[in-house]
């Protein structure tokens, strides 16, 4: 009986990487900028390349007013609502929330219609849970610094590139 249990446990452990390893689509390197703040490269369609501070304690992705202006000009945002929130320092702030048409994290993880709170001025962009929850389950690793994301969709042009690679001999 003990042998059967050990054999079953061994089979489970052998197959676990196959079962669970396939759920992650992208590994995105993070940069440590000191004081335990990590950043990832990204792109917001209509506003261009950007750097996001990864903040799993932030309920929303945040963009600044400069980014919002560029997105409005390109027609890549839709107003959703006003939001009253509490900042890390305890202060309360009311900010608008917009749905951003397309956000890319790293080189290949695209998300559509991500809600983003808009902060005044030229504040840094934050990758919060409104975007990260789209990639759940996800792993935040400090060693090596990386985000491992699930449910990534391919962006425009990537489907074509993947199809071309499949046709190569």
What would the pLDDT profile of 93-118 be if each residue is shown by its tens digit?
899 999 999 999 998 899 999 999 99
d(CA 53, CA 31): 9
Mean pLDDT of 82-87: 86
Mean pLDDT of 60-71: 96
The domains located in the chain, with CATH, are 43-138 (2.40.70.10)
Backbone region of residue 28 per phi and psi (left: phi > 0; alpha: psi in -120 to 50; beta: other values): beta
pLDDT band at 34 (very low <50, low <70, confident <90, very high): confident
């Amino acid at each position: 009986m003990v042998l059967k249990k050990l054999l079953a446990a061994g089979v489970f452990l052998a197959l676990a990487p196959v079962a669970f390893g396939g759920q992650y689509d992208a590994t995105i390197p993070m940069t440590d900028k000191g004081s335990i703040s990590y950043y990832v490269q990204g792109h917001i369609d209509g506003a261009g390349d950007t750097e996001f501070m990864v903040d799993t304690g932030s309920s929303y992705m945040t963009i600044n007013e400069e980014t919002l202006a560029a997105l409005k000009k390109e027609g890549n945002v839709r107003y959703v609502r006003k939001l009253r929130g509490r900042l890390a320092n305890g202060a309360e702030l009311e900010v608008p929330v917009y749905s951003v048409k397309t956000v890319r994290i790293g080189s290949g993880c695209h998300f559509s219609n991500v809600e983003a709170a808009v902060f005044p001025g030229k504040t840094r962009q934050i990758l919060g849970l409104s975007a990260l929850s789209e990639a759940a389950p996800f792993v935040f690793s400090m060693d090596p610094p990386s985000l491992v994301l699930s449910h990534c969709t391919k962006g425009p042009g990537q489907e074509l590139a993947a199809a071309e690679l499949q046709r190569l001999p």
